[in-house]
A and B are shown apart, each in its own frame.
Chain A
Amino acid sequence: GQNIDQPTEMTATEGAIVQINCTYQTSGFNGLFWYQQHAGEAPTFLSYNVLDGLEEKGRFSSFLSRSKGYSYLLLKELQMKDSASYLCAVIDSNYQLIWGAGTKLIIKP
């Protein structure tokens, strides 16, 4: 079956760096998305990786290793507003979007 694994919850301190991991086993691969979802709000697009390597976008970076079925989202200089759930999703060979259950990130002062 198809599976996306990510930690259920993580806690970090304001100003610090946190890495949220995502591992996947899917039928083929056409890219990996990271979304951010604040409580009671819509998921919003953060990044899309289809090639191996690190993509940096401001304080957020996303890394992909297709051979390892692994990605991470790196958040630097954490701010209180970064408290949210982070969803990892993979597009398989049939262009179906397979979702992880999300990682709830709690930022403490």
Chain B
Amino acid sequence: ETGVTQTPRHLVMGMTNKKSLKCEQHLGHNAMYWYKQSAKKPLELMFVYNFKEQTENNSVPSRFSPECPNSSHLFLHLHTLQPEDSALYLCASSQDMEGLAGGGRYFGPGTRLTVT
């Protein structure tokens, strides 16, 4: 148990669907992240929230829309996705933005997304 949970674990959606990914951290951390992990590629940082304020958006297409209602919850809203968006989406949290204390980033198990 890593203290970061994600739902759903698997998601298959068509290109015209709208769905949301949910992340919750029980660690009392202040920073939360969305990452995209594709096979044989480095983790790609998508969004960063610090104290529920978005601090970074790494040129992510608008079909991905994050939401952070409080320091413990993070959502990723998906609409009109493309097949190349199929990947593992990982949520992570860290104690602070520097991410050095206490083991760096704590990751959830991820959502395996398939876009058909």
Residue ranges of A at the interface with B (Cβ–Cβ < 8 Å): 4, 8, 30-31, 33, 35, 40-45, 48, 50, 87, 89, 91, 95-102
Contact = CB atoms under 8 A, between A and B. Distances in A.
A48 B41 CA distance: 22
23 contacts: A4-B42, A8-B40, A30-B100, A41-B110, A42-B107, A42-B109, A43-B90, A43-B107, A44-B107, A45-B103, A45-B104, A48-B103, A50-B100, A95-B97, A95-B98, A96-B45, A97-B105, A98-B42, A99-B42, A99-B43, A101-B41, A102-B40, A102-B42
Interface residues of B, number: 21
A101 B41 CA distance: 5
Nearest to B41: A101
Interface of B: 2, 4, 40-43, 45, 90, 97-100, 103-110, 112
B43 A87 contact: yes
A98 B112 CA distance: 22
B110 A100 contact: no
Contacts of A30: 98, 100
